[in-house]
Structure 1
């Protein structure tokens, strides 16, 4: 059985769609999943990038595409009242619900509750009263104690730093063995790997990272 680490941020509609699609996409394969929330903005900052919602024409296209993808996949999705929003309260809530035996890795139930809070119904994902209601609904899942808030903040930082160290640059991203698969559209590729397709041991995978850089705008 292969273990998948699913890097996610609740701000990403692609992460939401991948989360919902994962069971169908990988049906018939043998795997387990650990869900690891990270701060997408931290990944972008590290790699010197803007997010899709920070570039006006790309923002419009992104929202249209995710609505189309949701439509074609049969996954309920309504854009929240505003986007992007500050995802820190949601990320920290998810980590506060992590079991002590697996810090930094909330259950699928917790992730599903938070993703659907954001991406179903069209309400404001950052609304204070809605956040309070969500936190109250997840109370049975949460760790208790005065030091919890500091521990949760440190865990989010650690998750994000560990992800960067492993080569994670965006969400959703799936890590299996020594391989990374990025994006909703990588689910068929991930499935192929889990099924043991020999291509993944061939020259195409190995040599893709050996292509020479012809020009770099960063050096100009």
Structure 2
């Protein structure tokens, strides 16, 4: 089964799911695909939770509570939301490895450091062995790869991050990880009659644009 994880370093919930994805990757091949969440939001005409007053504050508190429940460190960076482009490109320049993903997530969410520029991420780049991070994130192949990841997400109808794709079946959010593992263990769960019925459930009312 093809297992792909789509994520953006701007998402605290991607940080919360990351240890579970690492554990999964230790036993099965998992393809890591960092993508720009803002591009998905624009494509679907949506706002992110951090762009909606009230929801923003709740989301931050909920993420912190979930981290504490899981015994996982979480410290928000100096400002949020932030532009994650440098972090995404750095990850790709470093090979999109578990080690690179881990280092960037830990820097931003484990320690609460800024991740919005290559200058802010310089210590991480040094640990990853990238001597000229500014040049690395400007490299044409790095930009092309990030775009390819986004195109792959669009092709799979990904609408948010983090999303775990199991042969194209999408599990959105850290809180859906247990559901994904259950379907990974028993793929017939997805094929139950009631699961199929939900896919064709009629829309009863629609808001006018």
Deviates more, 1:8-17 or 1:151-160: 151-160
Deviations 1:167-194 (A, max 9, x none): 1000010111131111111111011111
Deviates more, 1:124-133 or 1:202-211: 124-133
Deviations 1:141-185 (A, max 9, x none): 999x98971111121112112201211000010111131111111
Gaps of 5+ in 2: none
Deviation of residue 73 (structure 1)?
0.2
1:85 to 82, 86, 92: 82
CA contact (8 A) 2:93 2:137 kept: no
CA contact (8 A) 2:137 2:143 kept: no
Kindly tell me: are residues 156 and 184 of structure 1, through their superposed partners in 2, closer, same or farther at Cα, counting changes over 3 Å?
same
CA contact (8 A) 1:80 1:118 kept: yes
Distance 1:123 1:142 in 2: 20
Kindly tell me: are residues 30 and 198 of structure 1, through their superposed partners in 2, closer, same or farther at Cα, counting changes over 3 Å?
farther
Scaled by the length of structure 1, the TM-score of the pair is: 0.85
Task: Count the aligned residue pairs.
Answer: 208
2:153 equivalent to 1:163? yes
Q: Secondary structure at the match of 2:183?
A: helix
Kindly tell me: are residues 150 and 194 of structure 1, through their superposed partners in 2, closer, same or farther at Cα, counting changes over 3 Å?
same
1:107 to 97, 105, 117: 97
Aligned pairs (5 A) from 1:24-35: 31-35=28-32
Distance 1:128 1:142 in 2: 10
Return structure 1 stretches of 4+ with deviation > 6 angstroms: 145-148
Deviation of residue 127 (structure 1)?
5.6
1:61 to 58, 63, 82: 58
Scaled by the length of structure 2, the TM-score of the pair is: 0.90
Distance 1:73 1:146 in 2: 35
CA RMSD for the aligned pairs? 2.5
CA contact (8 A) 1:3 1:31 kept: no
Counterpart position of 1:124:
114
